Chains A and B, each alone.
Chain A
Amino acid sequence: MSSDLKYEKRHDGRDWLETRPIEAKAGVIKKADGSGYFKIGKTEAYAAVYGPREMHPKFLQNPKGGVLRCNYNMMPFSGAGERVRPGPSRRSKEISMVTDKSLVPVVNLDDFPNAVVDVYIELPQTDAGSRCAGICAAAIALADAGIQMKDMVAAISVGKVGDKLMVDLDYEEEAWGEHSGLVADIPVAMVPSTGEITLLQMDGKITKEDLLKAIEQARPVFEKIAEVQRQAIKDKFARWARGEE
């Protein structure tokens, strides 16, 4: 990619507010209580929900309601470079935590005191945007598991490369910043019906005006993603009604 300070055209020919191709499915993990799959470009996430079930260890139990517990994990061969060591890392623990917080506002676990709803997110291959894909898959899985939810949660990265605001940066666009210093990568999760933001992080530099604009102009993208997520659930039950599941 050119190291010019102006990013004139996206290297894969997309429009600034165009995501990579998205594919979503529900009911992909047979032994789970609910499951989801979300693929965006070459980033692929599976999520499975187990529960509500008894919380272990017991001291984490909450007598006032159920607890949502998310776990984000990259498969060892899913990174663009070297093998990722199996097991939790500082990065995966942080992402698990922010994933949890991005979903908690829409789920209601009041009826399940002392219980836990475990959400396991696995990434077989990634090309940036993996925490957002994980959140999208997890939201499908929670809905598929019949957990009471106010709305979907849709997530996508917004950002700035050079002087352009855009959505869904891929790995090459993120890497553009390493020599230009002009990239902001901002993963955002949103409750589409209210516009509430439940995940907000950033790598890079951006002005307040650009940040607000980047999120505001991406509103229709969040709605579009949520529609794909809802359709995944509908498709699963349509298959089920036809006796295919």
Chain B
Amino acid sequence: MTYTSKEHIISSLKKGVRLDGRKPYEFRPVSIVTGTISTAEGSAVVRCGDTEVIAGVKMAIGKPYPDRPNSGTLSVNAELLPISNPAFESGPPSTVSIELARVIDRGVRESKTIDESALCVTPGEAVWMVNVDLCPLNTDGNLIDVGALAAIAALKNTRFPKYEGGQVDYKTKTDKQLPVGIIPIPVTIVKVGDVILVDPTADEFEVADARLTVTTEEDGTICSLQKGGEAPLSLDEVGQMIDLATAQAKELRAILVKAL
């Protein structure tokens, strides 16, 4: 982004104006569609303004870790696909994409969204390994929040493939669903100068001095945090951001539950 457009965004924000006309604490409209990808065991597409993320779940049988012989595995991966934004380049995963995947992964893991013992087939021998891949098709900011909604919706949409005689039959889906329990919802709040915003666009993300992603469970318990950006935050600001994120998470949770 050019220096002038940065200045323009910042000076507008100081006057309380966002370039897309939203209020500081206003989320863009969110839509969730599940079961769009026939080759995946579970899938979802989430749109939020001009951001659009496809999440797909693939399952495979593997050997459990020696120290946890009764547990399957769940991992969330993300790639900043260069198709989705001119700023992304081909090549090995950038730190931004690794952070994106890890923040969502941590939220899902720490809230024990999936009971990993339910993924065990034969203790010590065979367990289900669940991979959630997040692929942004359009990127206009706020990939963490949108990606997490897509990941949860795809997990909820997942059906186990048939497993017989040591072989996974990917063509035959069973009725068995993944045991999705607690649903974590991350909300990212950014600070530009003294202004605090939710659901930043790509441009707003770029001018932000600091950001905080707060992941909460339904009862308001915080299950993961990630501060980003160069500017420090005061404890008061952290408190304010947590309140905002918790309130926003309630609305997103309602949209998610309605879509499932």
A interface list, Cβ under 8 A from B: 28-32, 42, 46-48, 50, 53, 71, 73, 75-83, 86-88, 118, 120-122, 124-127
Contacts and interface: CB of A to CB of B under 8 A. Distances in A.
B244 to A, nearest CB: 27
Given A87-B92, A122-B137, A31 B60 contact: no
B187 to A, nearest CB: 23
Interface of B: 36-41, 43, 50, 54, 56-58, 60, 77, 79, 81-86, 90, 92-93, 131, 133, 135, 137-140, 168, 170-171, 202
A86 B136 CA distance: 13
A32 B83 contact: yes
B170 A81 contact: yes
Given A42-B38, A125-B38, A125-B39, A76 B60 contact: no
B228 to A, nearest CB: 22
The 4 A-B pairs at the shortest CB distance, nearest first, are namely A77-B56, A83-B58, A120-B83, A77-B40
Given A76-B131, A77-B37, A77-B133, A82 B58 contact: yes
Nearest to B57: A77
Contacts of A88: 90
Contact of B58 (A46, A53, A77): A77
A122 B135 CA distance: 9
B39 A118 contact: no
A48 B83 contact: yes
Contact of B171 (A46, A48, A80, A126): A80
B220 to A, nearest CB: 33
B140 A120 contact: no
A107 to B, nearest CB: 19
A76 B138 contact: no
Given A75-B133, A122-B83, 6 more contacts: A76-B56, A76-B131, A78-B39, A83-B133, A124-B137, A125-B40
A146 to B, nearest CB: 16
B60 A75 contact: no
